Structure 1
Amino acid sequence: MLHETKEAPGVALPDAQSAKLFERGRHVFPDGTTRVTVERDPMPRYILKGEGAYLIDVDGQRFLDLNNNFTTLIHGHGFAPAMDAVERLLRDGTCFSNPTAHEIELAELLVGRIPAVEQIRFVNTGTEAVMFAIKAARAFTGRPGIAKIEGAYHGSYDWAEAGQGGTPSTWGSPEAPVAVPSYVGTPASVADDVVILRFNDADGARRRIAAAADCLACVLLDPMPSRGGLIPPEPEFIAAVVETARHHGILVVCDEVLNLRQSYRGASARYGIEPDLIAAGKIIGGGFPIGAIGGSRRVMSVFDVSSGRAKVAQGGTFSANPVSMVAGRVSMEAMSEAAFDRLEEMGNRLRAALTNSIERHQAHFVISGVASLFRIHPKQTLPRDYREAYPSAGEAAALKSMSRFFRDEGIILPAGAAACLSTAMSDAEIDKIANVFDRFLATTPASTEEVR
């Protein structure tokens, strides 16, 4: 049964149309949907359309969207300049086997903005961007292995997935974190080529990178892993990773698929990191599929076919398609330094308001995040890494209760309470989020010591 109660004659259940669509989906998809990331409680909410900062579902219900398709929609839904540009483009053709000027224009914008990027290649997803960045590092160094942060999500490439979903029973000792496979049947050899680092553990990073240096092509570094808690990096940790990698001829690859939204020049520049390669995606596509690998000319030369066969052959039927290029350029042009500053100001105001509510209610919650990103942790102290951010059973229940409370108040808050703002929001939306959280703390037992 999709609902515990039956629909009374002439009375529609609030999610009746979503329930019908989910039932249809169960016949054609293994679990009723086609993305594992789709949240269901107890079923998915099917969307009819988006309008700015809001979603309207198929049952006509309106929600403030704090997911924004997993941080992709920095302008919210239906950003008019991008939609108008795409509409003008559609009749001219949506994809070709030949290049277009549109890809050069977006590339010029990104190269001119991100300090570490001298040259760039476009792909279709963040997964592809990370995959080809790893392949580029392997080709450049001649080594197979990677080091990566425990709990950090980097898409669906076997080596990038290792260690992203460990649990207390599988992740191993603090001194030697295990490269826990992401799926059943992962080749055992994958773990042999992946070294797991704990975030913000400077000594551990130096020790583990140095010990495996001869086989490491790169350190894959998310400057602020979302699944790791949206916790900013400590300067000592960044220095330890970069200095040790440089000493051993290991490339530094920053995954900014999500965190490019942290500033006008991205997260690496924000934290003083000078990576050899950057993987980007999400916001640079203006709401359409995209990924990108960028870096120094020296390293990006592995993709060069002008003098013969490239060391890394990177193609993709829809890579650099005009729709994504045009929408991405228009959206990124609108993300001026002033636009990023405004988002950061809203983020600062919201995080401060949430923290004030916690202090007023003496609740066992803490807030992390920077810029337009925030996460609510049902913990008494701020975590420093994935293990500390990992929720206990009671904390997971508190997160679910909070997500349901927000839903009932007309706000989509992701189940893990990692959320983001968009330029479509105003002070009214910030106040609404803060007020709903305050009421949640005032009315639920999850705001007391029972969380622990």
Structure 2
Amino acid sequence: MRAASWFQPHPPYAARGEGCWVVDIDGRRLLDCANNFFSLIHGHAFGPVLDAVREAMTKGTAFGMPTESEILLAEALAARSPRMEQTRFCNSGTEAVLAAVKGARALTGRHRIAKFEGCYHGAYDWVEVSLDPAPANWDDENGNPASVRCNAGTPDSVLRETVVLPYDDPQRCADILRREGRSLAAVIVDPHASRAGTVPMTKETATVVQAACRRDGIMLIADEVISFRLSFEGASPLFGLEPDLVTTAKIIGGGLPIGAVSGPADRMSVFDHSTGKPKVSMGGTFSANPLSMAAGLASLAHYCQSAVDRMNGLGDRLRQEVRNGFAKAGVAATVTGMGSLFRLHLGPDEVTGYRSAFANAEKAKLTRRIHLAMLNESILLTPNCSGALSTPMTGAEVLSIADKLVHVVERELSARQGVAG
């Protein structure tokens, strides 16, 4: 079982999915706001995706040859954003980020990278640095974010090669980048990072990052594995970012395994093997398989501008309904997010990044209780009480999510206060 889908006492096992609903093996219908960790923009068993995959399957599932399907999906991405002129496909967001970091190193001749504290970019040693630091270890001797290992066994050399930036402190971010910039191959950024609080990066911080990359010849990698859904063109234009490389996955695969690295032709040339050994080799037995390509093309075709606008409007409504409900009930909690993404935070303080979103042991325990209580209300969130909307949802589902979340949080907070009293 995947670590991300496990929670105590035991998770429900899925039997089938129907639009924005999933049915577990006990027959319960759950309104699915997890959507396989935000990858199912059209929910479960979306007809156009199923039709596209069925047709593709009749022709074969995988080949040791290129197919037209990968060209069509790459063209669909290029049509959405001029920064995605060329694309190479792989099988996950982790693989996409790994390839982008290797590409940046080859393009610059440098080895070190910078990332933001608390941000998740997949299971690659360098980008896992300072994924989950705690107050006891998150600052170095100079008061800057420390490079903290996430997994046992990560070499010290990886920590030395990874610079950690503050998500919500543009001045300190600028100071660190000015000091370290000429040693960096890349800065990787998700401007709406789920693990860092699901809050939009400030335009001040985005401007600092873009300016440093231009000044010091650093490759800017935009990790849009989750945040690509925020607009028709992706997340970067919303924040004034002009990345050298863009990594995507999740919704561009229509529910099948996928990852992609995109960028202008001059940047993507680092992977070009047409005239001999490339600077960076990028392959994979099932990369660009026709089933994922067909599913992804159908998914993107139906995530048009009007669908994006509708989803973002529903997300705005959900967050406002929850905030209004908390305010009316006098509940010390809030919900963050942008577009069709949202996340619950407990406490009265404003959430601006990883540190202000950090849950101590008491908050983490209460969040787990709320997650299970929402499951008992037939709503499936991710274990940290975040979620995403899908296109089958309507205003009725949004109101149901908001009403139940406010009710559950109010009840659980009252129960905790009663015990404490």
Provide TM-score, normalisation by structure 2. Answer: 0.97
**Corresponding residue for 2:231?**
263
Q: Does 1:419 align with 2:387?
A: yes
Where do residues 15-414 of structure 1 align in structure 2 (5 Å cutoff)?
33=1, 35-173=2-140, 175-414=143-382
Shift of 1:446: 5.1
Once superposed, which parts of structure 1, at least 4 consecutive aligned residues long, lie more than 3 Å away? 446-452
**Corresponding residue for 2:411?**
443
Distance 1:450 1:226 in 2: 32
Distance 2:114 2:152 in 1: 21
Shift of 1:205: 1.4
- Give the partner amino acid of 1:91: T
Contact 2:14-2:22 at 8 Å conserved across structures: yes
Contact 1:368-1:375 at 8 Å conserved across structures: yes
* Per-residue CA distance 1:58-104 (angstroms, 9 max, x = gap): 11111001100010000000011000111122121010010000000
Distance 1:435 1:347 in 2: 14
Shift of 1:44: 2.3
Shift of 1:134: 0.3
- Give the partner amino acid of 2:280: V
Shift of 1:419: 0.8
- Give the partner amino acid of 1:240: V
The count of corresponding residues between Structure 1 and Structure 2 is: 419
Aligned-partner SS, 2:82: coil
- Give the partner amino acid of 1:47: A
The verdict on how the C-alpha distance between 1:300 and 1:59 changes in structure 2, with shifts beyond 3 A counting, is same
Determine which structure has greater relative contact order: mean sequence separation of CA pairs < 8 Å that are 6+ residues apart, divided by chain length. 2
Shift of 1:405: 1.5
**Corresponding residue for 1:14?**
none
- Give the partner amino acid of 1:37: A
- Give the partner amino acid of 1:402: I
* Per-residue CA distance 1:321-356 (angstroms, 9 max, x = gap): 000000000110000000000001110111010001
Contact 2:132-2:150 at 8 Å conserved across structures: yes
- Give the partner amino acid of 1:74: I
**Corresponding residue for 1:26?**
none
Unaligned runs of 5+ in 2: none
Shift of 1:448: 7.8
- Give the partner amino acid of 1:222: D
Larger radius of gyration: 1
Distance 1:105 1:403 in 2: 40
Contact 2:100-2:245 at 8 Å conserved across structures: yes
The verdict on how the C-alpha distance between 1:384 and 1:273 changes in structure 2, with shifts beyond 3 A counting, is same
Shift of 1:430: 0.7
The verdict on how the C-alpha distance between 1:415 and 1:450 changes in structure 2, with shifts beyond 3 A counting, is farther
- Give the partner amino acid of 1:132: A
Aligned-partner SS, 1:344: helix
Shift of 1:165: 1.4
Contact 1:365-1:447 at 8 Å conserved across structures: no
Distance 1:438 1:314 in 2: 47
Shift of 1:213: 2.1
Shift of 1:208: 1.2
- Give the partner amino acid of 1:423: T
Shift of 1:184: 0.6
Unaligned runs of 5+ in 1: 1-32
Distance 1:375 1:428 in 2: 19
Distance 1:382 1:116 in 2: 33
Shift of 1:394: 2.1
Provide TM-score, normalisation by structure 1. Answer: 0.90
* Per-residue CA distance 1:207-244 (angstroms, 9 max, x = gap): 11121223210100111110000011111111111101
Percent identical across equivalent pairs?
41
The verdict on how the C-alpha distance between 1:347 and 1:107 changes in structure 2, with shifts beyond 3 A counting, is same
Aligned-partner SS, 1:172: coil
